[in-house]
Chains A and B, each alone.
Chain A
Amino acid sequence: MTEELELFCEDMDEQLSIMEETLVDMSEISIEEVDSEMINKLFRAMHTMKGNAGMFGFDTVVSFAHVAENLLDEVRNEKIALTQDMVDLFLLVNDHSKELIDITVQEEQMDDDQLEHHNDLLSQLSIFLGKEAPKATSKSENIDEPEESGIPTYDIKIKPKKSFYESDMDIFSIIKFLGVIGDISDLKLEDKDIPTIDKIEEKNAYLSISMRYLCEEPFEDIQAAFDFVKDDIELNISNVTKQVVTKEEEIEISTKEEEKVVVQTPTKPKTTTKSKPKPKAKKAEKSSSLRVDSAKVDQLINLISEMVIANAKITQISNDQDNTELGEAADTLTSMLEEIRTGVMDIRMVQVGSSFAKLRRIVNDTAKKLGKDIEFIISGEDTELDKTVIEKISDPLVHMLRNSVDHGIESIEKRLKNGKKQKGQIDLRAYPDAGSIVIEIEDDGAGIPKDIILNKAIQNGIVSPNDNLTDKEIYNLIFAAGLSTAEAITDVSGRGVGMDVVKRNIEELKGTVDVDSVFGKGSKITVRLPLTLAIIDGFLVQAGDTKYIIPLDMVDECIELTAQHKSKMKDNQFINLRGSILPLLDSSDYFETNSIQTESDRENIIIISSVNNKAGLIVNELHGEFQTVIKPLGAVFEKVPWVSGGTILGNGEVALILDVPMLLQSVSDATKTIKKMER
């Protein structure tokens, strides 16, 4: 896919998201509450979509968007009243536009079903417009006569001067820009002056370009598109807008009169700039942001990661050689790198809001399909998360929300019978917490029937009847593969495939998922995700002959394992930390490291924590904070427990990154097992 086409797809996604978000907003309020700004937003998005598609010659998209745009135009001009059915129709139009753009970009054809749906939508739009439906594949409407839409219409003629090509200006980028701020039609190359190839002076320009152009932006903005080539072309812009007249005005205004605006620019010294025309009018509100290919940001992060590793090497050399000057320079570099790192990582951080907005649509549609009345409340939309994490968490969230709607929230009758309010509630929250982002999905539905879950798990051999599971452990069985307790398998959920995949996807993102429920009252699923997947602040420790990185956010404190501690512990694997009894893990036992002679005899305990779990970890040496570039360990080490990745230290040595949540979870599970055995 070319860069232009990629940008086109991104633009389309953006416009479609705006439309979807606005339509979902509209569907959640009464029609009387819909304000003109919402309609204008829809119109602008559809208009931009049409313009951009026109620029690429995607005629089917253009003609489809054109009909939808016409209806929106009528609504915004209050000629046609908005109805709820219309909002529903526009949601379908939005979905179909997405599909249509995909098909067009892939250079495919609509299949019979898609074509039927396409025609059906066109018919429905036309019914609202009170017109006959246009043909599905027909090109944009009559272009010979200016439409009576009131949109200013121009005939533009561009005649490049003889030396135009040598200026190396790109006329296509100007046409493209015009397509962004307006609608181009009837674009023609006039070739009558071109000689045959054996007679042509190939560097001279002979041809000219003409087009019909509809644009609501000020005339100056249209002219401004040609700023960079105005010395190299003859430009003629004629306003041919067909006047829309009221009966009262009819007598005074002649509709055939054309206002002619001719711009013949005087010859000036040729400019040497090669800049392309700058988008102004329509993009003005976005002038403070810059669209950058995410691959470029990834590349920058990779480079910074390599710089962090190289800097660690310099620091190591300065330490080895006891070179203070080099050490100071390395320190300066370290703090600068940290700032750059934070800045670049910030670029990757995206607010979860846009992703959440799409979920509203899914909840609404699913609720409608199941005949349920649900209020979906989103909070924390401005919480930021790494773009990759957002992209990958989207599917699991969809699945969990569908489950909440399908199995969580009861039918209206059941809710009323149980003394609950008719409208069920699902909350989707996002907030930062201790270096992670927490996403919660909470519903006030039926809750998880733990007996049914347990019996099903026993039947499927997931747990044994003798296992004495806590409520929480039973609830978490919903993430076991192949366990579905849905009484009816619907096309929404209930096939027992999904929640295990949800858990796996979240764990692949180095996140955790946890479920809590009160039968009859509702359930809450908590997803905890790392802020980023690239570079973290870590704490470097040594256990035996192996170095480990513990994410700094999960380190509570470091203490010395004193003789006093040891005497109090006796043979127990617990430590009393200011009155709190914590499990104590000996890293050499856990990680089976080879013991080595260290510089000091001191033994250290690092107190690590994650969510509600906390433990002490005995290590031999503490090396301190370390900017950690996360490197995947590859398939061979994939199954190594409690290790989530690796990093390269300054001396080239590899340190393993501890998967603290998994480690603490396993300790918690083991402790419970011991307790059960003791019973």
Chain B
Amino acid sequence: MTLGFDELNIYEISNFKQEILNALEENESKDKFELDFEFVESIDLSSIQLLLSLKKYCDEKKLKLQLVNIKAKSIRQKLKLFNLNETLGVVK
């Protein structure tokens, strides 16, 4: 799923969650769920929290979560800061 948000923040969090839930429903792969960050330029703590909750969901459903195409350095730095690359399945 390619995310269509420039910024992932508290103002977009509900839309972000809904898009993920929709995508999870439509997800054809039985073992993988992929989020494409190509167009996302920034992320805040609420969205990181949502990604962690997605990770918990994926773990329950035995889906492998992958975050791909993270181009924005600020996002990479924040994930690295909290040592989340492995947890959230960041693909370099």
Contacts and interface: CB of A to CB of B under 8 A. Distances in A.
Given A187-B83, A203-B10, A198 B21 contact: yes
Contact of B53 (A5, A57, A166, A195): A195
A168 interface: yes
B78 interface: yes
Interface string A612-647: 000000000000000000000000000000000000
A56 B84 CA distance: 14
A451 interface: no
Contacts, number: 86
Given A2-B74, A165-B46, A207-B49, A197 B17 contact: yes
B62 interface: no
Contacts of B10: 165-166, 168, 203
A208 to B, nearest CB: 11
B44 A202 contact: no
Contacts of B13: 165, 202-203
Contact of A197 (B48, B54, B73, B80): B54
Given A57-B81, A165-B10, A189-B82, A170 B44 contact: yes
Contacts of A284: none
Interface string B1-45: 000000000100110110011001000000000000000000011
Q: What bracket does the count of chain B residues touching chain A fall in?
A: 20 to 34
Contacts of A412: none
Contacts of A4: 74, 77
Given A172-B45, A205-B46, A191 B52 contact: yes
Interface in A175-213: 175, 187-189, 191, 194-198, 200, 202-203, 205-207, 209
Contacts of B80: 57
Contacts of A207: 45, 49, 52
Contacts of A175: 81
Contacts of A200: 17, 49-50, 53
Given A2-B74, A168-B10, A196-B57, A202 B17 contact: yes
A626 B57 CA distance: 71
A165 B16 CA distance: 15
Contact of A165 (B45, B56, B77): B45
Contacts of B17: 197, 200, 202
B73 A196 contact: no
B60 interface: yes
Interface in A1-26: 1-2, 4-5
Interface string A133-175: 0000000000000000000000000001000011010111001
Given A165-B44, A168-B10, A205-B49, A188 B83 contact: yes
A194 B49 contact: yes
A104 to B, nearest CB: 12
B44 to A, nearest CB: 7
A203 B48 CA distance: 12
Contacts of B74: 2, 4
A318 B20 CA distance: 65
Nearest to A207: B49
A198 B78 CA distance: 24
Nearest to A191: B52
Contacts of A202: 13-14, 16-17, 46, 49-50
B52 A189 contact: yes
Contacts of B16: 202
A180 B78 CA distance: 16
Given A5-B73, A165-B44, A198-B21, A203 B14 contact: yes
Given A165-B44, A189-B48, A205-B46, A196 B56 contact: yes
Given A196-B57, A202-B14, A56 B46 contact: no
A529 B72 CA distance: 41
A55 B77 CA distance: 9
Which residue, A165, A171, A188, A206, has most C-beta atoms of chain B within 10 A?
A165
Q: 10 smallest A-B Cβ distances: which pairs?
A: A196-B57, A165-B46, A57-B80, A165-B10, A197-B53, A200-B53, A197-B54, A197-B57, A191-B52, A196-B56
6 contacts: A55-B81, A57-B77, A165-B45, A187-B82, A196-B57, A200-B17
Given A171-B45, A195-B56, A206-B49, 15 more contacts: A1-B73, A2-B73, A165-B13, A165-B44, A172-B81, A188-B83, A189-B84, A194-B52, A197-B17, A197-B50, A200-B17, A200-B50, A202-B17, A202-B50, A209-B82
